[in-house]
Amino acid sequence: MEGLEVTVLLGLTILVGTLIAPRVRLALPLVLVIFGLLLGFVPQLREVQLPPETVLLLFLPVILFWESLTTSLRSIRRDFRYILPMSTVLVVASAFAVAGIAVLFGMPWEIALILGAAVAPPDATAVAALGRLLPRRSFMKLKAESLTNDGTALVLYAIAVSVALGGQITPLSVTWDVLVSYVGGVAAGVAVAALGYLLLSRTTSTIVINVALLLIPFSAFLAAEIVHASGVLAVVVAGLVVAYISPRVTTASSRRQADAAWPFGVFLLNGALFVLIGIEVQYVAHEISAAAIGRLVLITLSVWATLLVVRYLFQLLNVPFQGRPASPLPRGARSRARAVSTVAGMRGAVSLAIALSVPASINAGGAVSGRDEIVFVTAGVIMLSLLVQAPLLPMIVRWARFPVDHAEDEEYELAERAISGAALAALDDLAAEHGVGQEVRDRVRAEGYQMLEFENARSLAREQALIDAEADALDDLLDEPDPLGIGGVDTTPPVMPSSGGGADAVDGSVLQIIATSADVDLAQRSPLIRHEEHTRLKLALIDRKREVLLGLRGAGTVDDIVVRRISARLDLEQVRLQGIEEFD
């Protein structure tokens, strides 16, 4: 089929899957894989094959860069002792355990090790879909692990391919490859991010900023590949650095545009990958004999079970090296947390990218080819993750009985009150600096106090809601519900009075001018002047709020995710005041 036809078909499949998934109550990736399997029954579609390097070089930089931009640096620093062994030692242990199982089923050692490298790392995008199910800290630990373990898996993959091609592997060469991969990947990511900082700090054009951001992940990947380092690690490091410096070198308009465009692009790329998984499975199934398929299904089930067992055992053995937690959990709670982490370690786009990047023939003569087996088993493991782990995870989370995590909400409220208070404290100085009159100054001060009162009221309302929920739960437990509700308070929303204007004003069928004046004195402080002063002062206050917010982030008082949420609100307010940048 032609490229345009394939593109349109993939887009339609993603669209239909997005519409159907909520109706059938299945995860969207699983629905897309099923659609891919169905499309694979069409011989012409089954022959659709991406070049081996396409997924690795085109899809992953964009996907991983976006996940890095939305990851908490504070969480990585806080849980580094957990993340480091999970993203390195566990990946190696999983890869060799899988290779051992595959060898027991008759797969050559070289091919088995490539398979192990492909399925060893959990996927960041698969983990990202679980964010609403897990406590914030557990989710961030899993996401950080999934972002950094890809580099280890790709180093193993390169070593395994070298072994399969007859290369000489020694402990010294392996150590050198690991050092070059990690050190070179980090250096490439930092260097590209630094160049991006120099460029972004010299422009305010929305389109220039976002084109530069789009080039950063590909440039980081390319720079790392040139020095034979980990391109994936370079992209992740560049993304983390850019996420930290972005508020200072980008504009509100560019950030709003990026926040709309990047999730959409990543969604399309992920959707296309899951459809391709189904098509690829059909292709491989038609290329392999029925007897071989039965054997590969057994390998797939064994590999999937092995990954779960190894992950759980590694967490259990790694406990003595984690240090004493700040708030120790009961023994049973720790075991349940390990079970949740085990089920949450799902495979996805990265595993598929590694499998599809395997050369079509392993040796130079092409007599032995194991790519089809690797792709089949890898796709099968991904499908089992989607089919079994994804539906099972909510039940495991409920069984684990995690305490409700309000840390993010509390930090959000703290930050909002802090920046609002700081803005009010600086209002007079900013008004004098920008030549704002007393009338506008008083108006903005009143708006600021209203906002601060709103934040205080929202914080108190959330705390009261928790108290009410506990009281309701106690009433249910005692089977004595309060017929009047908690405190006998009527929770019926108040009916807002009409602002006047009669029936025409209510139904909006007649456009009316509320007030007119033919006596505007342009020599006095006209509405235009007051509007300009109001805009200048509000923008100055927004800048002050951002400074305080970034100071809270630097001090570690609030998390990067909270900063991102509040920054998005400030950006919306600034764009409303300034308007969206127009360009030809």
Q: What pLDDT is attached to residue 327?
A: 53
Of the candidates 267, 358, 266, 272, the one whose C-alpha atom is nearest the C-alpha of residue 48 is: 272
Residue 496 pLDDT class (50, 70, 90 cuts): very low
Q: What is the mean pLDDT of residues 140-167?
A: 81
Strand, helix or coil for residue 155: helix
Kindly tell me if the per-residue pLDDT of 248 is higher than 60: yes
In 3D, which of 160, 121, 110 has the Cα closest to residue 370?
110
Q: How confident is the model at residue 550 (pLDDT cuts 50, 70, 90)?
A: very high
Give the pLDDT confidence of 294-343 residue by residue, as tens digits: 888 999 999 999 999 999 999 888 776 665 555 555 566 778 888 888 88
> Comparing C-alpha atoms, which of 125, 119, 149, 29 is closest to residue 300?
119
Q: Provide the percentage of residues in the chain whose pLDDT is more than 90.
A: 21
Residue 189 pLDDT > 90: yes
- Lowest mean pLDDT, pick from 137-141, 263-267, 384-388: 137-141
Last residue of a domain, one of 400, 416, 440: 400
Give residue-wise pLDDT tens across range 255-302.
999 998 999 998 898 888 888 878 878 887 887 877 788 888 999 999
Most confident option among 88-102, 382-396, 438-452, 522-536: 88-102
Query: How many independent structural domains does the chain possess?
Result: 2
- Residues 451-459 have a mean pLDDT of 75
Comparing 132 with 175, the larger pLDDT belongs to 175
Domain of residue 429, residue span: 407-478+525-578
Reading the block at residue 510, the tokens are 């007649």
- Name the residue with tokens 């990026």: 258
What are the DSSP calls for 337-368, one per residue? HHHHHHHH----HHHHHHHHTS-SSSSTT---
Domain limit, last residue, from 366, 400, 434? 400
DSSP string, 266-311: HHHHHHHHHHHHHHHHHHHHHHS-HHHHHHHHHHHHHHHHHHHHHH
- 173 with 211, same domain: the answer is yes
Is there a domain that residue 229 lies in? yes
- 94 and 110, same structural domain? yes
Q: How confident is the model at residue 125 (pLDDT cuts 50, 70, 90)?
A: low
| Structure tokens that stand for 61 in this block | 């930089």
pTM score, whole prediction: 0.79
**Which amino acid is located at 454 in the chain?**
F
**DSSP three-state, residue 509:** coil
Q: Which of 117-131, 338-352, 503-517 has the lowest mean pLDDT?
A: 503-517
Q: Which amino acid would we find at residue 161? A: V
414 and 392 both lie in a single domain: no
> How far is the CA of 199 from the CAs of 187, 212, 222, 240, 562, in angstroms?
18, 8, 18, 17, 27
Percentage of the chain beyond pLDDT 70 is 83
| pLDDT given for residue 544 in this prediction | 92
Q: What is the pLDDT of residue 59?
A: 81
Let me know whether 293 and 441 are in one domain: no
pLDDT, average across residues 31-43 = 87
Residues 200 and 241 grouped into a single domain: yes
**Are 147 and 279 members of one domain?**
yes
**How confident is the model over 352-385, as pLDDT tens digits?**
878 877 776 555 444 346 788 888 899 889 888 8
Both tokens assigned to 74: 């504070």
Asked whether residue 174 is domain-assigned, the answer is yes
Model confidence at 486, pLDDT cuts 50, 70, 90, reads: very low
Residue 11 and residue 35 in contact, taking contact as beta carbons nearer than 8 Å: no
Amino acid at 63: I
